[in-house]
Amino acid sequence: MAMHITLLTVGKLKEKYLREALAEYEKRLSRYCSLKILEVADEKTPDAPTPARKEQILDAEAGRLLSVMPADTYLITLEIKGKELSSEELAERLADLPLRGKSNLTFVIGGSLGLSEKITGRSDLALSFSRMTFPHQLMRVILLEQIYRAFRINSNEPYHK
């Protein structure tokens, strides 16, 4: 069963060096899965949004994410309070999903304020890479690298540690 992965993100990737890194991992991953990257527009966010304004922003972004989210997908959200996995544990999860009939995966990376409950509430797995905060644009590259590493682990192929 071929794996279909969608990377769904809020905001455009602006920096050339990050776009180049993303393209490199897209190329590497093409051996293992089909990968689609979808970006939705982010909302303009004031420096210190009120809780009500923050919720409006998250809701607007959630509406855009939901409008392009593939149907019948296994949803993995990146969240600071999500579950931390080792590379090997992520590889195990990715290997197990197709065995359970889940070959369509969607990873969601929110904008600068994170993700709305409208998205996190639908998540099959909330994943955290660290308790530290990373720029959401850089997380795209980190995530694709870890997905690539997982496929290499599952294929018993060498990969630097």
Q: Based on the number of CB atoms within 10 Å of its own CB, is 65 exposed (0-12), middle (13-18) or buried (19 or more)?
A: buried
- Residue 114 DSSP code: B
Domain boundaries defined on the chain: 3-154
pTM confidence score? 0.94
Count of CA atoms in the C-beta half-sphere (13 A) of 86: 5
Residues 6+ apart with CB under 8 A from 4: 33, 34, 36, 70, 103, 104, 105
The SS3 of residue 6 is: strand
Q: Look up residue 40 and give its two tokens.
A: 């939705």
The conformation of residue 122, written as its DSSP 8-state character, comes to T
pLDDT digits (tens, 9 = 90+) for 104-133: 999 999 998 999 999 999 999 999 998 888
User: CATH says 3-154 is which class?
Assistant: alpha beta
pLDDT in tens, 28-68: 999 999 999 999 999 999 888 999 999 999 999 999 999 99
Coil, helix or strand for 89? helix
